[in-house]
Each structure stands twice: as structure tokens, then as C-alpha cells.
Structure 1
Amino acid sequence: MLNDCLRRQDGVITLRQAQAVGLSKQAVNRRVRLGLWRQCSRGVYFVDDRPFDDAARVRAAVWGFGEHAAASGLAAAWWHGLTRFAPEVVDVTVPRGSSGRKRSGARLRRRDLATADVVEVRWLRVTALPLTAIEAAVHARRDRGVMDRALQRDATLAQLWTAQLRNKGRYGSPAARTLLQGAGDGTHSAAERLLVKLLRDARLTGWRANHRVGRYRVDVAFPAAKVAIEVDGWAFHVDPTEFQIDRERQNDIALLGWQVLRFTWLDLTRFPDRVLATIRTAISA
């Protein structure tokens, strides 16, 4: 039972868990004295027969603040698989009345989370996907790619808004609200305007906005090169019907002899040079 517990918990175990599988406090202390276990914080231990990886680090940081603590922010985003790299500082949220001091490697936030805003993922309490997405997007320098990936998973825009309204007044709430407002019906238009600005600033010519190709109008077209550029709004990710319509639309335009390039808001905001390089290659082919 002990080995199974350690295996699924990345080598991290609490005193209460150790006692539940039959170890006494004295037995735990003996393992620490022998160098077999490392004490991470009061009542939290790591079995030192394996690498202390990011999963162990995040888990130990959260458990160090008690059984009601939850990973939040970028730590929760990484745990959910919304970001590639674990943050150096682990955000931990605890109830307002909880005891506990700040520790190196952890950022403590005190607030009461609703039951709907906490889930258990791989035996660790973390903020639920909707709340995680809006909080992490703000911490990640307002990276809407985090929200984008959440919407490609099980979250919906309505769920993100519900989590936002349920947690008004928290750190980063105004910035998250701005991101969510931009994720509404106007997102596609805002992305189109950003694309047009990129083209103008790069002094690219020969393009037309809202250009008709067959029975469709494409966001931006280079008629001479027969290159059509489409900007994917958030509905592209969250609405299966919209996704299917976009696929049929793209195929119809391609059958008319046009090359179709697709870009997302993340492409336009985070990788504009790559977007422009792709467009230049397409229109010069």
C-alpha cells in the first residue's frame, strides 16, 4: 500500500497518509534520520529514491499548506496540461481562515473557493479548469492561448464567465474580465483588424479585406496570388457546427484554386513575425 501511494503521488506523502498505511510517526522520523525520506515541510515528505521532479515539487508545495490547500494560477494550469512548463513559483490558494506562513518557492493566496471551483486531479486539489484558465491567462502576461487551450478541452466560454463572476474581487479579476470580453462575438472582428494592421505596418500591398471568393467572403485576400487569409475566432474552438462549416468553406475555396492560410488570435499577438513570413512566402510562390 505504501509503494502504491508513493507511485501515484510522485514520491510525496504526508504524515497522515503514512499513518493511514500503517507507519507510526516514529517510523517516519526514523526514515528521515536515515536519509531515506526528505522532509519538505511540516508533515510532508519525499522519498529520496527518485528525482524530485516538477510534479513532486508542485504537490509538496500544495500539501505543505494543509489538506484544504489547492494549486492555482500557473501551477494549476500546468497540472491541467494547459501550459508546457511548470512555474518556478507554485501558486497555492487556501481558505481565508487557514494558518500557514509563506514559504520559498510558493505564493500563498487566501480566499474561500466555491466547491465548483476546486477539483481533484491525480490526487491533488487544484482549481477547476474554468477558473484556472482565466487566472493563468492573466499570470501568463495575458496569454489568451491558455484560455484557447482550455476551450479546446472541456471548458466552455459560459463556464469561464461563470467562474469569473463567482470570483469577482480576486487578484487579476479586472484583467481576466477584459480577456473574456474580448472572447465574445467581437473577437473575430478584433483579430481581423489586428491582421490588417500587421499588413499595413509591414507595408504589404495587393490585399483586400472582406473579399469575395466564389460564394464566400474571406477576411483578407491577395487576389493576384490567389491567397486567402482566414482568422479563426473562438467559435472555431468551441462550436462543433462552426468548425464543420469552416472546414467545408475552406475546401470550397481551395477547389477554386486559392491557397488558404489560417491564423488564430495567438498567432497574431504572440508570433506576428511568423505570420508575416508565412504570408510573404505564400504570395511570392
Structure 2
Amino acid sequence: MRTIHRERLAQLLAEGGGVVRRSEHPELGPVLDRLLRTKELTTVLLGIYAPAGFCADLAARMAAVAAWNADAVVVGRAAAAATYWPDIRFDRVDIVLRVARKLRSMDFRLHRRTIPVDWIRELRVGTRTVRVSAPALTAVELAAELGGEPIDTVLRTRQATLDDMRSALDAVSGSRGNGARRRLLWESRDTPWAESERLAHQLLRDAAILGWTGNEKVVINGHTYFVDICFLRLKIAVEIDGRDHQRDITTFVRDRERQNALVLAGWIVLRFTWQDLDRHPQRFVAQVRAAIETASRATAVNKR
């Protein structure tokens, strides 16, 4: 095997996002066949090859889809991982095509349907361009399977708004599970950024506590903070620590900085954990009511 061919293959793999398409480089056929026999290369999709072990690499899988069919659209969990939710776990890459085509792979799953062009985004992987569903559409479609978390995550990362997701859902009207998706969007009307915030919002609504907004932007001494549940007029901040809050030291430190800034600016700050909401919802509601009463009395005194 000539060294020049190996060098050429290495260059093509680097440029192509970790994969090479056989039909684009017929001169490398003997090289590809030998590397496949020695298991240095593996078949990703028909006619698409990558170095052994590619499956752990999302970028290589996305490049493989682009090389396999330029009209294919990556959807579902893989689309979320590629656009707004890098920590989401997935086993297979879901692909949408308008027309039927054979696909024999345990790493990919093909669906025959159409994605409206307005809800497709293009990503570059090496020299290739892969099409993926837009974050708004990805989030609402995943909601039928994963509940509110995809919606919360896309809102937190600011990759889509509620209006974006409502429009995306309208664009795929008639899809199975849309009733549940619409219900979740309605429950998300106060823009929760986590499951714990979603639960807190529901508890406040059930208790008929009004006058608050979710993830409200507050500026203090030139610094911008987002308050989980904000009673802006009364200067009450209700902060919700999610299940994994203390595992993320960056979030932990940032939340303490925000709390100190709010307190020094005259705010009442209440902190609750997921366990507080889940195990003691009545206590949560009672303490929020007490804060409202305290702030209201202080406001009345200051107006005299």
C-alpha cells in the first residue's frame, strides 16, 4: 500500500469530519478495502467509512449523515446534542428523509417524513454541511418523550423562545403526541429553566399566588442577574436549587454572588431545594406567602 494513498486518506478524513465517502474517491478503493479487512476502518453507512471507534464521536456521525445523503435531516436527541444540549445521552442518530431509502445500521435510525425548511439548520463538520432540526422544533418534538426537560433546557440556553416552539409545533401539526406537547408548552408559559422551577411554578399557580415572573432579568449596579422566580414590585427573589445544583461548582458560586447582590440591594431572597418542593410543598407556599406579607408591609410603611 503506497504511503501517498495513506496520507491522502488521512487528509480526507480530517477534512471530511472524520469520514470518507467511497464514491467521491474511487482511486482509494484498494486502500479502503485493505483497511476495512484489517478493521482499521469501519463502515458507518453504506459507502461511508471512518476509523474504528467512531461511534463515540457525534461529529463523525453527523459528518457520516451529510456524506450519505445531502437531503437527510438529523432530529431528536442527536440534533439536541449538536445544537443546544451537549449533555443529552443518545444511542442512535435519528434521521429524517422525505423518500424511503435502505439503511442498515445499529447506530442510525431512519424516519420517512418531511421537515419544513424553515425549521432546518445547517452545521459545518469539516468540509461537509449537515442538516439538523432547529432547536425549537427539536425541543418540542423531544418533549413527547422526555417531558418538560427539553423545553426547559432550550429556554435556559436561550436557543429558542416559547413563541419559537409554538410556531414549530404549528409547523408539524398532526404529529402524534402534539396534545402532550401543547400541554407542556402551556405549563412552560412562565419560562422555567429546570424541572425544579417547573414544579415551583405549578405550586404557586395552585396556591393562587400571583404577581411573579420566571427568570426575570434584574440589573443591580450594572450587573445583570436572572432571578428564578421574581416578585419585581416587592423585590422578592425565590431561588430554586435543582437536584444536581451542588455538583456544579460554577453554578453554586454564581448563585451565591447573585444572592449577595440582591440582599445588599434590599431584596428578600428565599432559597429552596428540589427536596423542599417535592416533600414539603405546603411549607414552600407558606414561606413565599410570608415573604409577600413582609415585603407588602415594608412597602406600605415606606409610602407613608
Q: Shorter-chain TM-score category?
A: 0.5 to 0.7
* 1:11 positional shift: 2.5
2: CA distance, partners of 1:86 / 1:189 = 22
1:86 aligns with 2:95: no
Structure 2 residue aligned with 1:114: 116
Q: Deviations over 1:118-172 (max 9, x none)?
A: 2222433211111111112222x21x23212222323222221111111112243
* 1:74 positional shift: 1.3
Q: Deviations over 1:172-231 (max 9, x none)?
A: 32222222222336989984442587xx9xxxxxxx956xxxxxx6x6xxxxxxxxxxxx
Conserved in 2, the CA contact under 8 Å of 1:133 and 1:147?
A: yes
Residues 90-101 of structure 1: matches in 2 within 5 Å?
90-95=93-98, 97-101=99-103
Range with greater deviation from structure 2 (63-72 or 113-122)? 63-72
Task: Give 5+ residue unaligned stretches, structure 1.
Answer: 201-207, 211-216, 220-231, 264-270
1:11 aligns with 2:15: no
Cα distance change of structure 1 residues 171 and 149 upon mapping to structure 2, 3 Å threshold? same
* 1:45 positional shift: 0.8
**Alignment RMSD, CA only?**
4.3
1: CA distance, partners of 2:86 / 2:78 = 9
* 1:110 positional shift: 1.0
1:160 aligns with 2:165: yes
1:259 aligns with 2:269: yes
TM-score by length of 2: 0.60
Residue 98 of structure 1 aligns with an amino acid whose one-letter code is A
Structure 1 residue aligned with 2:135: 129
Conserved in 1, the CA contact under 8 Å of 2:45 and 2:103?
A: no
Structure 2 residue aligned with 1:233: 214
1: CA distance, partners of 2:278 / 2:141 = 30
SS at match of 1:11: coil
How many matched pairs?
236
1:176 aligns with 2:176: no
Structure 2 residue aligned with 1:35: 39
2: CA distance, partners of 1:182 / 1:84 = 24
Cα distance change of structure 1 residues 253 and 34 upon mapping to structure 2, 3 Å threshold? closer
Residue 178 of structure 2 aligns with an amino acid whose one-letter code is S
2: CA distance, partners of 1:277 / 1:11 = 49
Task: Give 5+ residue unaligned stretches, structure 2.
Answer: 1-7, 219-223, 238-260, 288-304
TM-score by length of 1: 0.63
* 1:35 positional shift: 3.1
1: CA distance, partners of 2:34 / 2:59 = 22
Structure 1 residue aligned with 2:244: none
